[in-house]
Amino acid sequence: MRGNNQVWFALALSALTCPALGQHSQVPSSGKTARHAKADFNRSIFYRNKLEFSYEVGWLPWNIPLIFDVFLGSPYTTWPLKYTLVPNIASLRWQVDGIHGPSILRGSTDFTFSGSFTAIPRGAETRYAAFDFGIRRNFIPRNWRVVPYYEMRGGVGDINAKGPDGVLYAQGQDLTFTYMMGSGVRYDFNPRFSLDAGATYMHVSNAYLSQPKYEDFGINVWGPIFGFNMRLSKPKPPPAP
């Protein structure tokens, strides 16, 4: 009898001290699910020191006044000579930080180093080649594949100026400067490949360096631009378990 009491006591003690059946498997499972729900796949696309190759083509047929005329005291007007520019831009895109920021400002920043060749199917000149530097801000909602952006670029280049040949409203010298700004959206297929579509404004002039001998009329156009991006650097390593 005494032996039976000892057996029952041992069974009761083991029932109190051992966890319920399946308890160990349930806790890790729920923890894993919670981590899964919080994951943002954009963190494998936008991260610090990622390098991309970018190629963009624009069609800019709409002539407008210089957007800074209000600050320069120049007449806010377009010239009789109209231009259409077709920029072809090859860039190294460097993501200088990761995703950060509150609410609608959440995003990351790219620096771009570009070489461009611009065909001029309408206008006095026929071509323009330049080196540009730019900054792009990506606005990245959590787990969105469509990412809005805003960017600005500036550079220096060479155009086959026709002002010295006597063409009225043409460019005054070959050495010219570029300013571009635009916005659009980027669609990420995966961490390696993405496409861009947006609108951009492009200004080309010689910053009055040709005056007073030749007037600096400048070119001011805008239109759609499309791009392709491909990751060059290694993929972001997965987080430690």
User: 127 near 162, Cβ under 8 Å?
Assistant: no
The stretches in the chain having pLDDT less than 70 are: 1-38, 70-74, 239-241
Place of tokens 């070119």: 219
For residue 30, being part of any structural domain is answered with no
* 237 burial type by CB count under 10 A (0-12 exposed, 13-18 middle, 19+ buried): exposed
Reference 139, options 186, 92, 201, 199; nearest CA is 186
User: 96 near 137, Cβ under 8 Å?
Assistant: no
Q: What is the pLDDT of residue 24?
A: 43
For residue 26, being part of any structural domain is answered with no
For residue 8, being part of any structural domain is answered with no
Q: What is the pLDDT of residue 21?
A: 40
For residue 194, being part of any structural domain is answered with yes
For residue 33, being part of any structural domain is answered with no
Phi-psi region of 117 (alpha: psi -120 to 50; beta: other; left: phi over 0): beta
User: 122 near 61, Cβ under 8 Å?
Assistant: yes
For residue 183, being part of any structural domain is answered with yes
Give the CATH number for residue 119: 2.40.160.20
How far CA 153 is from CA of 114, 173, 182, 186, 222, in Å, comes to 9, 21, 9, 17, 14
Q: What is the domain range of residue 181?
A: 42-231
User: CA-CA distance, 85 to 123, in Å (whole number)?
Assistant: 9
Is pTM, for the whole model, over 0.75?
yes
For residue 3, being part of any structural domain is answered with no
Q: Count structural domains, the chain.
A: 1
For residue 239, being part of any structural domain is answered with no
